[in-house]
Amino acid sequence: MDARTLCLGVLQLGDASGYEIKKVFEEGVLSHIYETSFGSIYPALNRLVEDGLAICTEMPQDKRPDKKVYSITPAGRAALAAALQQVPAPDRIRSDFLFILMFGHLVPRPHLERLIDQRINWYRDTLARIDKCDTANWSASAQLFAGLGRTVFTAAAEYLEQNRHLLEQQESPTDRNGPAAAVAE
């Protein structure tokens, strides 16, 4: 799924500007499954218009650049439907936090603790973002999507809260001398 398809998906939910699309990936429904930057959204929208998959309506605004509101076209809908029926690529996850946790014994414990605090907060924030969505009139599969997110983030937050105490027995690398060396070899 490239940026173009992602934008089509958001436009399928309703007309939007590039700025608004970014917000959907930042604080909206899709914030926990994809991230994007302006540098990918704006070019994607231009290509969508070029290819006839979206149209753009310029809304003049006083004292601001024109707001360009994009709408999906029938061809766009067809393209989205086709993309959705492709074999999905496996999830691509890159989690610095999890990597650090795996090697947490190489890191000062207070630092690790702080990271865990932050991660729990992030789970809670994400949960709040999901709950903020008014899913009442969503399709059944979109509700399944939202519920899955809720389930996973709740489970993760609870697990960390309930199990972080396991770190207490662990020595911090600054507590001793031959730090990393003690673990491998």
Partner DNA sequence: GGTTGCATGTAAATGGTTACATGATTGT
Partner DNA sequence: ACAATCATGTAACCATTTACATGCAACC
**Binding positions for DNA, rule: CB under 7 A:** 2-3, 17-20, 23, 35-40, 42-46, 61, 63-68, 89, 92
Looking at the DSSP assignment, which residues form a beta bridge with residue 68? 58
Cα–Cα distance between 149 and 71 in angstroms, integer?
28
33 binds a copy of itself (CB under 8 A): yes
Q: How many CA atoms lie within 13 A of 167 on its CB side?
A: 23
Number of C-beta neighbours around residue 31 at 10 A: 17
Out of 131, 132, 143, 175, the only residue in the binding site for a copy of itself (CB under 8 A) is 143
Would you say 58 and 67 are in contact if contact means Cβ atoms under 8 Å apart? yes
Burial classification of residue 79, based on how many CB atoms lie within 10 Å of its CB (0-12 exposed, 13-18 middle, 19 or more buried): buried
> C-beta of 14: minimal distance to DNA in Å?
14
> C-beta of 150: minimal distance to a copy of itself in Å?
9
Cα–Cα distance between 29 and 129 in angstroms, integer?
7
The option from a copy of itself, DNA, none interacting with 2 (CB < 5 to 8 A, set by class) reads DNA
> C-beta of 113: minimal distance to DNA in Å?
25
Instruction: Write out the binding residues for a copy of itself, residues 83-102 only, by CB under 8 A.
Output: 84-86, 88-102
What phi and psi, each to the nearest 5 degrees, are found at residue 33? -115, -15
Out of 51, 151, 161, 175, the only residue in the binding site for a copy of itself (CB under 8 A) is 151
128 binds a copy of itself (CB under 8 A): no
> C-beta of 82: minimal distance to a copy of itself in Å?
10
